[in-house]
Chains A and B, each alone.
Chain A
Amino acid sequence: MRPTPLTEHDLDRQLPEFYPRIYRMVRAMVYGSGLDPEDLTQDSFLKVYKKRHMYNGTSSLYTWTYQIARNTVLDALRRNKLQRRIFFWTESETQPDEFSANETGDQTLDRREQQQMLRKALARLSEKDKLIITMRDLEGMSYDEIAEIENLAPGTVKSRLFTARQRLKEELVRMGMDPGSD
């Protein structure tokens, strides 16, 4: 049986709960790219409102919304990368600022610095790795939810997550973080 179509009112009711979560994902994904996370979050929700007639209830409304936002962000990042290539901007110019633990003059990073470092290391990962870490470690989504959004088996989600975390570790080490430090 076809579920009752989503109304604007249904979405309006869910918006305060969904908006901050989607915003966090978008922000983590576009950090260091020059794209505006608020604009992209709005673009995603505009699509959600427009496409609401297509929601068929096979997945949760949040998963469906997340999928739309994910695609919107990936498209924007692809376009952004293409524009940078066209205008001959080199990758290094657009990378987030270099960050080194040694710059602090103290080997023990404080909370704020760790946060910054994590963001910057995440920004250096591929979109695929960034997305899976964002979904699991930042958003705390279940493996089944991630599997549904990414159209993968839950086992594959786990193995990809492990690899993505390995790459994150490599980036942190490259940025000057001692792998053995807390």
Chain B
Amino acid sequence: MIPNSKKTSKRLRERLVDARDGFLTGDELAQLERDVKAHNPRLWEDHLWMVKQAQKGIFSRFSDLREEQPAEGAISRFHARRQAEGGTQADLEFLVWSWFRRYVLTVGILLIVLFTGLQMGSTEETAGDTRDQMARILGGEQESIPELNHWLYEDL
């Protein structure tokens, strides 16, 4: 008995497609039939139906659909539309835009990231300077700041 798993089901379906394409020997096909029936008998029924339909049933109508052609003059209409929509000029615009997108935008984003990083660094420096200045104004002693805080916030 084959364990009922997704992986087994996938493998069996793959093999059934090989079988429909005629890539299996008689022994391989018999083994596959046993495996499939043990796993999920419906798969085998569907396989038989597909084989039958491919030979002379509805699936064989795909060959009719394959013979269908686009309406007459479709290619000339396409060329006319291409010319009307700019042709070579549109190609050039597209090329310039894709170049712009690829290089200019990437460089732009990198510059913005770099600039923001520098700005953050300088803000930190400024904050450091401000702390030093505060300390100087308040008497230069770091220890006095907790006292000052206590004095400032005691009413809250």
Contacts and interface: CB of A to CB of B under 8 A. Distances in A.
Contacts of B88: 8
Interface residues of B, number: 40
Contacts of A24: 65-66, 68
B49 A19 contact: no
A66 to B, nearest CB: 15
Instruction: Give the one of B53, B64, B69 with max A CB within 10 A.
Output: B53
A159 interface: yes
The dominant DSSP class at the B interface is helix
Contacts of A180: 49
Contacts of A182: 52-53, 56-57
B150 interface: no
A137 B85 contact: no
B24 interface: no
Contacts of A49: 82, 91
Contacts of A172: 58
A163 interface: yes
B56 to A, nearest CB: 6
A27 B61 CA distance: 15
A161 interface: yes
B90 A50 contact: yes
B100 interface: no
Given A24-B65, A182-B56, 6 more contacts: A15-B78, A38-B71, A114-B58, A162-B46, A169-B46, A182-B53
12 contacts: A8-B91, A38-B74, A41-B70, A42-B78, A45-B78, A50-B90, A109-B58, A118-B61, A165-B50, A169-B49, A169-B53, A182-B53
